[in-house]
Amino acid sequence: MRILRLNLAQLRCFESLSIVPAAGINLLQGANGSGKTSVLEALFLLSHGRSFRPGGSQALIRRGQVECTVYAELDEGSQTHRLGLARSAHGWQARIDAQPVSRLSSLLVHCAAICIEPGSHDLIAGPAEFRRRFMDWGVFHVEPAFLEAWQNYRRCLQQRNSLLRRNGDSAQLAVWEQGMDSAAVRLDEQRRAYLGRLRIQLLEHLARWLPELGAPMLRYQRGWAAETALIDVLAAHRIRDREQGHTRQGPHRADWLLGFEQAPERHQLSRGQTKLAALACLLAQFECFANSAARRRCCFWMTLLPSWIQPIWSK
Ligand SMILES: Nc1ncnc2c1ncn2[C@@H]1O[C@H](COP(=O)(O)OP(=O)(O)OP(=O)(O)O)[C@@H](O)[C@H]1O
Ligand SMILES: [Mg+2]
C-alpha cells in the first residue's frame, strides 16, 4: 500500500489540507501546533477507525464545525482505491471508491498504518486493552477470517451479559455460551498463530536493543483458564458473573506480556526500556505485515524522532 494523496477537511486545526507524499520516506516539519500530529492522526484513523489521542472521535472535528473528513488515494499494487471517512455527531460514514460501505472494517482493511507516538509506551505499561487491540489489529490484517469470529463472539458476549443483568436462566445463558465457545476457539488459534509469527521478529529486536535485560520472552494469556473449555468455565462461573453483571473470562480478556531474564515483570523496566520495547513491538508488527502471505505494504509513521530512539537509530 502506498498513499498517493491524503486530504483532510475540518479536522483538528485544518480547514482543508491536501498532501501528496513521495514514495519512500517523508518528513513533516513545522512549528509546535502546526498540525503534524494531526496529519498522522488522520492516517491512523483510516487504519484503525479511531484516534490514538484521548478525547474520543468527536475531538477530531474542527472547533465550530459539525463534521470532519479524511480522504486517501491508495496504490495497493494491482489496484488503486479511494477511501473516504467522515465523522459527525451521528457516527462514522465510510466510502470506498465513492460507494458507501456499511461496515467501517471494510474500509480499514485497505489501509495499514503503524504509528509510533508519545503514548506508544502504553502498549507495554498500560492496561491489557492496549495490547489486545495491538494484537487484534495485526490478526485482522493478516487473517481474513478473524473479523467474522470476533463479531460472532462479541454478539454472543453482549447477549450473555444482557441476560446476566436481567437474571436470565441457565438454559438461556447456555445458548450464548455455546456460541462464545466456538468463536473463542477460532480467535485463540488465530491470535496464537499471529503472536507466533510476531515473536520471531520481536524477540530478535528486544535482544539487540535491550541486551542488559537478558533473554526476552513473550507470554500469551488467552483470557480463560488453561486446559479448560470456555463453555465449562462460563457454566461454572454463572453465579459470580451474575453478581458482577458481566462475563469475566473469555478472549475479550486476552493479553500478552513481555518479560526478560533480568526483569520478568513489565513494571521492572525503566521508562526508556519500556519505550524501546514498545518500539520493538510496533516494528515487529510492521515486519510481520510486510512478510504476510499477501506481502502487502504498510506505512510506518513516527512523530518527532524522540531522543530515546537515538541510541538504536544508528543500529
Ligand atoms: N478540535 C480542534 N479544533 C481546532 N483546533 C484544534 C482541535 N484540536 C486540536 N487543535 C489544534 O490543532 C493544532 C495542531 O495540533 P497538532 O498536535 O497536530 O500539532 P503538532 O504540529 O503536532 O504540534 P507539536 O509539534 O507541538 O507536537 C494545535 O494548535 C491544537 O491546539
Ligand atoms: Mg505533535
2-111: CATH homologous superfamily?
P-loop containing nucleotide triphosphate hydrolases (3.40.50.300)
Q: Burial code of 150-171, b = ≥16 C-beta within 10 A, e = fewer?
A: bebbeebbebbbebbeeebeee
Nearest atom within ligand 1 for CA of residue 59: 1
In the chain, which stretches have pLDDT less than 50?
Answer: none
Decide: 84 in ligand 1 pocket, CB within 6 A: no
Residue 300 CA, ligand 1 centroid: distance in Å = 21
Q: Given the DSSP bridges, would you call strands 299-302 and 113-116 parallel, antiparallel or unpaired?
A: parallel
pLDDT of residue 208: 94
CB distance 265 to 195 below 8 Å: no
CB distance 3 to 72 below 8 Å: yes
pLDDT of residue 224: 98
Nearest atom within ligand 1 for CA of residue 39: 18
Decide: 66 in ligand 1 pocket, CB within 6 A: no
pLDDT of residue 293: 62
pLDDT of residue 314: 59
Using CA atoms of 263, 268, 271, 275 in order, give the dihedral in degrees to the nearest 10.
50
Q: Which CATH architecture has domain 120-294?
A: Up-down Bundle (1.20)
Residue 107 CA, ligand 1 centroid: distance in Å = 26
pLDDT of residue 76: 82
Decide: 37 in ligand 1 pocket, CB within 6 A: yes
**Domain ranges, ordered by start, for the chain:** 2-111, 120-294
Alpha-carbon distance 59 to 279, whole Å? 27
pLDDT of residue 8: 98
CB distance 296 to 144 below 8 Å: no
Decide: 56 in ligand 1 pocket, CB within 6 A: no
User: pLDDT (tens digit, 9 = 90+) per residue, 63-117?
Assistant: 999 999 999 999 888 889 999 999 999 999 999 999 999 999 999 988 888 888 8
Decide: 32 in ligand 1 pocket, CB within 6 A: yes
Decide: 315 in ligand 1 pocket, CB within 6 A: no
Q: Which H or E run contains 289? A: helix 271-290
Nearest atom within ligand 1 for CA of residue 62: 3
pLDDT of residue 92: 93
3-state secondary structure 134-182: HHHHHHHHHCCCHHHHHHHHHHHHHHHHHHHHCCCCHHHHHHHHHHHHH
